[in-house]
């Protein structure tokens, strides 16, 4: 077993380590501080037993690739589900816009599959104008692009040779594929090549956060 935190790691160490990362994903520690300490104490016990801070409310499969999805904070792997619930599974982390985290502890209620969910994907400050960022939201690979004060979201996969558009070049409202230069309009996903337009997703900015709206729990 390979331990990934130092011996003697404390609850306060985990808070200092996880807090800034969760904030950039649009989350914060639950407002119920005693509950937070209880969960983090459980994670320290899991750390001693299994070598990493696996989520104490999820069962490990034994498959390292699957189990990495439940290493806390696991927000990036369940963006759409957590956005719908406004918290992570156990409630350790809650959405920034939730004022009282107590009401979400122990509650797992999700909208019906296909329900539109606005998912926080990054801070606007972390996305300079004229740049793009790749985010994974559910089964969607999305390129989020900032042009001035506006943000846009479109499929990250170029229809020519499946290159990642987020690694391309942004020129105004156009993003050019990094492999062969195919050009897509970030506002509507259109390109001047036949039958090669890509899907777009509604994107907004709220309180300094970039949110992308996707249908929950559906293969897209």
Would you tell me how many other CB atoms lie within 10 Å of the CB of residue 42?
A: 17
Confidence at residue 1, expressed as pLDDT on a 0 to 100 scale: 61
State pLDDT tens for residues 137-149: 988 999 999 999 9
Confidence at residue 114, expressed as pLDDT on a 0 to 100 scale: 80
Confidence at residue 3, expressed as pLDDT on a 0 to 100 scale: 81
CA angle 104, 105, 110 (to 5 degrees): 50
pLDDT confidence tier of residue 80, bands split at 50, 70 and 90: very high
Structure tokens that stand for 160 in this block: 């020519």
Catalogue the long-range contacts made by 46-55 (C-beta closer than 8 Å, 24 or more residues apart): 47/3, 47/5, 47/9, 50/1, 51/1, 51/2, 51/3, 51/4, 52/3, 52/4, 52/5, 53/5, 53/14, 55/88, 55/89, 55/90
> Which ranges constitute the DSSP H helices of the chain?
11-24, 33-50, 64-67, 79-85
State pLDDT tens for residues 47-69: 999 999 999 988 889 898 999 99
**Cα 90 to Cα 103: distance, rounded to the nearest angstrom:** 12
Strand partners, 176: 169, 183
Between residues 106 and 19, the one the model is more confident about: 19
Nearest to 147 by CA among 176, 182, 174, 181: 174
**Domains of the chain, earliest start first:** 11-98 (3.90.460.10), 118-215 (2.102.10.10)
**Cα 35 to Cα 14: distance, rounded to the nearest angstrom:** 14
Q: HSE of 34 in the Cβ direction (CA atoms, 13 Å)?
A: 1
pLDDT confidence tier of residue 220, bands split at 50, 70 and 90: very low
Confidence at residue 112, expressed as pLDDT on a 0 to 100 scale: 77
Residue 180 DSSP label? T
């Amino acid at each position: 077993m390979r331990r990934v935190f130092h011996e003697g790691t404390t609850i306060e160490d985990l808070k200092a380590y996880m807090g800034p990362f969760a904030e950039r994903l649009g989350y914060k520690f639950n407002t119920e501080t005693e509950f937070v300490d209880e969960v983090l104490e459980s994670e320290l016990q899991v750390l001693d037993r299994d070598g990493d801070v696996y989520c104490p409310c999820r069962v490990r499969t034994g498959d390292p690739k699957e189990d990495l999805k439940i290493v806390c904070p696991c927000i990036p792997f369940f963006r759409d589900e957590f956005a719908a619930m406004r918290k992570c599974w156990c409630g350790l982390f809650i959405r920034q816009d939730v004022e009282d985290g107590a009401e979400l502890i122990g509650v797992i209620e999700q909208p019906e599959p296909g329900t539109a969910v606005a998912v926080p994907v990054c801070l606007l400050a972390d996305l300079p104008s004229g740049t793009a960022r790749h985010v994974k939201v559910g089964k969607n690979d999305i390129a989020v692009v900032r042009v001035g004060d506006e943000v846009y979201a479109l499929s990250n996969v170029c229809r020519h040779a499946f290159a990642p558009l987020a690694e391309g070049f942004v020129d105004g409202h156009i993003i050019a594929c990094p492999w062969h230069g195919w050009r897509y309009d970030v506002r509507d996903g259109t390109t001047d090549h036949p039958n090669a337009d890509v899907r777009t997703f509604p994107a907004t900015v709220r309180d300094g956060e970039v949110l992308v709206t996707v249908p929950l729990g559906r293969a897209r």
